[in-house]
Amino acid sequence: MMEDARAYEGLRVGFTAAVSHELRTPLARLLALLDSAALAGEDRDALLARAREQVEEMSELIDDILFLSELESGRQVVALGSTPVLPVLEEVRDRLANRAEHADVRIVIDADPTVELPLRRRMLQVVAENLAENSIRYAGPGATLTLRARPVLFEAADDGRGLEEHDLPRLFERFYRSDRARASRGTGLGLAIVKHVVVSAGGQVEAEGGPGRGLRIRCTFPAP
């Protein structure tokens, strides 16, 4: 009991420190932008637009932290019945269409209308959207992302720039960013949320790929 309490306290302290660190960076950028906007001769509209981006980044981070906290406290029921996959993937593709076009990433859906997965619709949306957003951010121009569903299987596979193989084991850690991701926007929690949802539904998640070989993230679920 005491060991469990100490382990929990260690995780709590580490998580709090990580959250503080992740919030400090956009906050520092925001303060610098506002200081610059107060100077004569600066393009205030452009600086304020960039400041708004930092506020949105902090808001996105807080939303992800709260969602992950709800998952871990059991207030979100992950697996409740099953959900047809194709309509959800089409909805995610349409919602992210503008961002994908801007990043020059093509989204392809490969799913039979009869395929269902053992997740609530909201949880399936969360998994698909976070995986798609990860590829849109990092796959690189000209890449194709395939969202594929089969019985007990969902995967997101892109043929983009990939990442170093030593990054793969840490890809689902909270706030972990590979070298390619450090210069990009993102909370560093999206893939951690994906793993938590899939594991909570009794499934497993794994990643494979390498430099120039794209990234494939595979989620497998227990057979009904």
Q: How much is the pTM?
A: 0.68
Structural domains of the chain in order of their starting residue, each with its CATH number:
2-73 (1.10.287.130), 83-220 (3.30.565.10)
Q: Which of 74-78, 143-147, 163-167 has the lowest mean pLDDT?
A: 74-78
Point out which residues pair with 149 in neighbouring strands.
Answer: 111, 154
The pLDDT-based confidence of 23 (bands split at 50, 70, 90) is: low
Q: Name the more confident of 19 and 198.
A: 198
Task: Report pLDDT for 216.
Answer: 96
Residues 63-82: tens digit of each pLDDT: 666 666 666 666 556 666 78
Task: Report pLDDT for 181.
Answer: 45
- Which 3 state secondary structure label does DSSP give 105? strand
Query: Mean pLDDT across the chain, nearest whole number?
Result: 80
- Which 3 state secondary structure label does DSSP give 98? helix
Q: Average pLDDT, stretch 194-215?
A: 90
Token pair for 76: 């979100």
CA angle 212, 214, 215 (to 5 degrees): 140
Residues 44-66: tens digit of each pLDDT: 888 888 888 877 777 766 766 66
Q: How far is CA 160 from the centre of its chain?
A: 17
The pLDDT-based confidence of 154 (bands split at 50, 70, 90) is: very high
Task: Report pLDDT for 110.
Answer: 97
- Which 3 state secondary structure label does DSSP give 155? strand
Point out which residues pair with 208 in neighbouring strands.
Answer: 216
User: What is the enclosing helix (H) or strand (E) of 149?
Assistant: strand 143-150
DSSP letter at 213? S
Task: Report pLDDT for 11.
Answer: 43
Task: Report pLDDT for 144.
Answer: 97
